[in-house]
Amino acid sequence: MAYDFDIYIKQHINLSDEDVQLMRSMSLEKTAHRKEILLKPGDVCRYKMFIISGMVRLYRTREDGSEHIMHFATENEWMTEPESLNHGTPTTYYIEALEDSHLLLWTKRDFTQLCVAIPQLKTYSEDIIAKNLAMTRERVFNTMSATAEERYDDFIRDYPDVFNRIPLHMVASYLGVSLKTLTRVRQAQVKR
């Protein structure tokens, strides 16, 4: 399975076979089972992870137990809790495997060493961070200004693979609407 990572990384960065091998040699392979919690509130995030197969989510809960999903990551995507990882502080978030997942993990120290040894990786990592920041800003803007219907349409357009792999209550949580509202929006879509 790590071979999939080799293909992915070479498609995105011009790396030598030796660079790819160095990246893999500094990674830890992990199989996470469905519903396995990989990070929980109070823990310090120790890893930057790459999803070879499966899906994970980053979410937070309120005092009443309601969940607010911040991000989904599927195959060939990265996941971490950056604030906790970068500052070594306890997180307020969960990272959970939504499916059986095969992951590659790097500690902050190892990933930093890789970025020094492979400058293209540092540039690529910074590009991913910038892209995620832009996506987060756009999501906040849409949450404040778009209708539930518009947010639903955006979600289906942007995450068609995710939509078919998660229960509707998670879609509602991600969109910031109730399950009842999501059901109404979906029924209206069918009538169009």
In angstroms, the CA 89 to CA 91 distance is 6
CA 171: distance to chain centroid?
15
CB 68 within 8 A of CB 97: no
Query: How many C-beta atoms surround the C-beta of residue 135 within 10 A?
Result: 12
Q: Is the pLDDT of residue 159 over 90?
A: no
Q: Which of 15, 53, 18 is nearest to 34 (CA)?
A: 53
In angstroms, the CA 32 to CA 175 distance is 26
CB 154 within 8 A of CB 59: no
Q: How open is the CA angle 30-95-169, to the nearest 5 degrees?
A: 125
Please give the pLDDT value at position 164: 85
Helix (H, G, I), strand (E, B) or coil at 19: helix
Superfamily (CATH) of domain 2-145: Jelly Rolls (2.60.120.10)
Query: How many C-beta atoms surround the C-beta of residue 29 within 10 A?
Result: 13
Please give the pLDDT value at position 188: 83
Structure token digits, residue 181? 């509202």
Please give the pLDDT value at position 158: 85
pLDDT digits over 57-105, tens only? Answer: 999 999 998 999 999 999 999 999 999 999 999 999 999 999 999 999 9
Q: How confident is the model at residue 192 (pLDDT cuts 50, 70, 90)?
A: low
Please give the pLDDT value at position 59: 97
Q: Quick one: 190 exposed, middle or buried, by C-beta within 10 A (0-12, 13-18, 19+)?
A: exposed
